[in-house]
Amino acid sequence: MQVKATAKYIRLSPRKARMIFQGLRGMPVEEALIALRFTPKPGAKQVAKVVESAAANAESNYDIPAGDLRIDSIFAGDARTLHRFRAAARGRVQPQLKRTCHITVIVTDGQE
């Protein structure tokens, strides 16, 4: 059975989030959380929260033990971009694009 968790409008660019996801697909949830704990990227903590949420959804809604779960799919989609401006030389402005993403994690117990 597949169980999904989504975190929306995370202040992390989708490209940087996808760099964190490498190697997590197909990994058991407990091992993925350990790997995320020791990942030096700043966004790893937010990704770990979503993985924990997916495992908690499976455990509370479908009575699937967390030890049986594997990460089936994990992806980041674009969300709203915050447009900010910074002062530049000669009285001009430079746009600062602060990107956000939606992180979705799908875990499965291996049975359909």
Encode pLDDT of 21-68 as tens digits: 998 999 999 999 999 999 999 999 999 999 999 999 999 999 999 888
* Fold classified for 2-108: Ribosomal Protein L22; Chain A (3.90.470)
Q: What percent of the chain has pLDDT over 70?
A: 99
pLDDT digits (tens, 9 = 90+) for 31-43: 999 999 999 999 9
The residues facing 10 across adjacent strands are 101
Where along the chain do its domains lie?
A: 2-108
Q: How confident is the model at residue 90 (pLDDT cuts 50, 70, 90)?
A: very high
CA distance 26 to 69: 10
CB 50 within 8 A of CB 6: yes
Nearest alpha carbon to residue 67 among 75, 58, 76: 58
